[in-house]
Amino acid sequence: MPEVRAERFIPAPPEKVYALAKDLEGLKPYLKEVESLKVLSQEGSRTRSEWVAVAMGKKVRWLEEEEWDDRGLRNRFFSPEGDFDRYEGEWVFLPEGEGTRVVLTLAYELTIPIFGGLLQKLVQRLMQENVESLLKGLEERVQAA
């Protein structure tokens, strides 16, 4: 299963960065590839949300279930249904100097039978760009807060 990873230093305390990442709908305006993001339910540390992103001119849809660990400042997520065959990962918010090192890993499978291996490499590049863009959007959100 392909995996992408990105990390970014954000000059703000880990608790603040984590709290702003946890507010998914508040983060949405900073995510350029995401067409829509709707939180369907929040119960304790669990969040269920619906995402629609645009990649290569096509809409990609998925449900996402997240488990937020307020003590450990981390989030594990996966998609139980949607266009991805498999979609799971983790955010980690680490104290570093006067700020936070955010590490995001994402493992995914997206079968596109008609295009084969060449498109899979393109999809991996797009997924890498998306996780980096997500962290950039989080940094912009933190700076705006």
84-120 pLDDT tens trace: 999 999 999 999 999 999 999 999 987 765 555 666 7
Q: How far apart are CA 65 and CA 48, in angstroms?
A: 5
The reported pLDDT for the residue numbered 60 is 87
Residue 76, Cβ density class (10 Å: 0-12 exposed, 13-18 middle, ≥19 buried)? middle
3-state secondary structure of 34: strand
What percent of the chain is helix, strand and coil (3-state, nearest 5)? 30, 45, 20
The reported pLDDT for the residue numbered 39 is 96
Q: How far apart are CA 140 and CA 31, in angstroms?
A: 10
Q: Judge contact between 10 and 63, C-beta under 8 A.
A: no
| Cα four-point dihedral sign 55, 18, 73, 49 | negative
Answer whether 0.85 is exceeded by the pTM. Answer: yes
Q: CATH 1.20.1640.10: does it fit domain 3-144?
A: no
Q: How far apart are CA 109 and CA 45, in angstroms?
A: 26
Annotated domain spans of the chain: 3-144
